Structure 1
Amino acid sequence: MSLRARKRARTRQALLDAATELFERQGYDETTIADIAAAAEIGSRTFFSYFASKEELLFPESDARVQATLDAIATRAPGEGPAEVLLRALRTVGERSDEMVGPTAALRTRLFQTVPAVRGRALQVQLDAQREIARRLAEAFPDQLDELGAGALTGAFVGAINGALQVLLDRTDEAATPADRHQAIRTATDVALAPWRHDPKADHK
């Protein structure tokens, strides 16, 4: 990374850290963009060079997760089915970052239940992601999935992740590590996607 890119990454992370701390301490509605910018030692106008709204601070890696899934679809191996591609993408995301099971995720889950603006943003992020992933799956596996099947598979995948996360983040088990939580999510998605799993033995019957 260039010096400029590293500086932007540090400022972006400072904003995320400041927002998480302020949301926890002051409350989401009580925290303003000006508060977050001041805590990160930048101007309020500069904030919008990094995030379009306060809600976006709670979804820092959503685009990266979607892109990892699209990349997995694009780089599918011969004989790899759509369910296997999605599960591989989930493993890749878990290896790259703990954001999905970390403090931001726990905060996001709590605010989803109490703040309409956060709930609306979360649902929009999820809907946009599901539509794009389902569209790419249908294009990549036309012999296995039509639009309806791709939508159902993607919904099962996303629903399994969200359901498992809800349970994991509601727990107060301090001993659970990010690796433990990622493994629990993988187990949940394995179960949810079992009906779509490809059986190589069937190809030779």
Structure 2
Amino acid sequence: MEKHGLRERKKQRTRHALIEAAVRLFEDQGYDQVTVAEIADAAEVSPRTFFLHFPAKEDVLLADADLRVDLALRAIAERDPAEPLAGVLVRAMDQMIAHAWDSDLPTGLAALRARLAASVPALQARLLQRYLTAQADLAQALLRAFPGRLDAITASALVGAMVGAVGAAALTALRRGDGPDEVRDAMRQATALVARSVT
């Protein structure tokens, strides 16, 4: 058990080192100029190790995106039967926001991703793919959580409104140069705005 824990901690340290190296190199040299081999070298691992953690270079910028979605999915699946729809949506978004505040925001990863997404087609495509997949998964989870109350269109519209509002608020705050606390507050404000329209 202890050996497994040690192995997992080492894996997380390596992953974190790859993210830090990528962020530093992308900031210094520009995204297109940096290779996977250079990121691996800066993190003192092999390119093979890089690919054990990330399928492609752009995935470094999307680190832990799946974990954030999983947290939201779990929040929806574990809802109290008496919890209202708006409350479930807010709690799911809060899980995602809290994780972003703990990881992407303080490291500068979120700000870098926002800047690069405006100019790197490969990253734009990957972000859109992740975004659409996450929305579809969240909408399906909402349908399962509220059988008979929601149809597919309504569930998709609610998730789209919430995710879109939170993403737009975060992007605006990041482009404005806000710090992690302000970005988190902007995302929470967007969540509250959408929640007020849910009955």
Q: What's the TM-score once normalised by structure 2's chain length?
A: 0.92
1:134 is aligned to 139
Q: 1:109 is matched by which residue type in structure 2?
A: A
Q: Against the structure 1 CA distance between its residues 167 and 97, is the aligned structure 2 distance closer, same or farther, given a 3 Å change threshold?
A: closer
Q: Against the structure 1 CA distance between its residues 182 and 14, is the aligned structure 2 distance closer, same or farther, given a 3 Å change threshold?
A: same
2:95 is aligned to 92
2:155 is aligned to 150
- The match for 1:67 among 66, 70, 77 is 70
The answer on whether the counterparts of 2:89 and 2:195 sit within 8 Å (CA) in structure 1 is no
Shift of 1:143: 2.6
Query: 2 CA distance for matches of 1:150 and 1:6?
Result: 38
Shift of 1:100: 4.4
Instruction: Say yes or no: does 1:101 pair with 2:105.
Output: yes
Instruction: Say yes or no: does 1:121 pair with 2:126.
Output: yes
The answer on whether the counterparts of 1:83 and 1:153 sit within 8 Å (CA) in structure 2 is no
Q: 2:61 is matched by which residue type in structure 1?
A: L
Gaps of 5+ in 1: 198-205
Instruction: Say yes or no: does 1:23 pair with 2:17.
Output: no
Runs of 4+ in structure 1 deviating by more than 6 angstroms, as ranges, are none
The answer on whether the counterparts of 2:93 and 2:191 sit within 8 Å (CA) in structure 1 is no
1:203 is aligned to none
Shift of 1:97: 4.5
Shift of 1:17: 0.1
1:59-108, CA deviations, whole angstroms, 9 ceiling, x for partnerless residues?
11111111011101111013212331121122233334523434111111
Superposition pairs for residues 37-52 of structure 1, below 5 Å? 37-52=40-55
Instruction: Say yes or no: does 1:57 pair with 2:60.
Output: yes
- The match for 1:79 among 70, 76, 82 is 82
Q: 2:165 is matched by which residue type in structure 1?
A: A
1:202 is aligned to none
2:175 is aligned to 170
Q: 1:93 is matched by which residue type in structure 2?
A: M
Percent identity over the alignment? 45
Shift of 1:152: 0.1
Secondary structure at 1:73's aligned position in 2?
helix
Q: 1:164 is matched by which residue type in structure 2?
A: A
Query: 2 CA distance for matches of 1:124 and 1:97?
Result: 19
Secondary structure at 2:31's aligned position in 1?
coil
Aligned residues: 194
2:192 is aligned to 190
Question: Larger Rg: 1 or 2?
Answer: 1
RMSD across aligned positions (CA): 1.5
Query: 2 CA distance for matches of 1:162 and 1:95?
Result: 14
Q: What's the TM-score once normalised by structure 1's chain length?
A: 0.89
More helix per residue: 2
The answer on whether the counterparts of 2:79 and 2:88 sit within 8 Å (CA) in structure 1 is yes
The answer on whether the counterparts of 1:101 and 1:169 sit within 8 Å (CA) in structure 2 is no
Query: 2 CA distance for matches of 1:81 and 1:143?
Result: 14
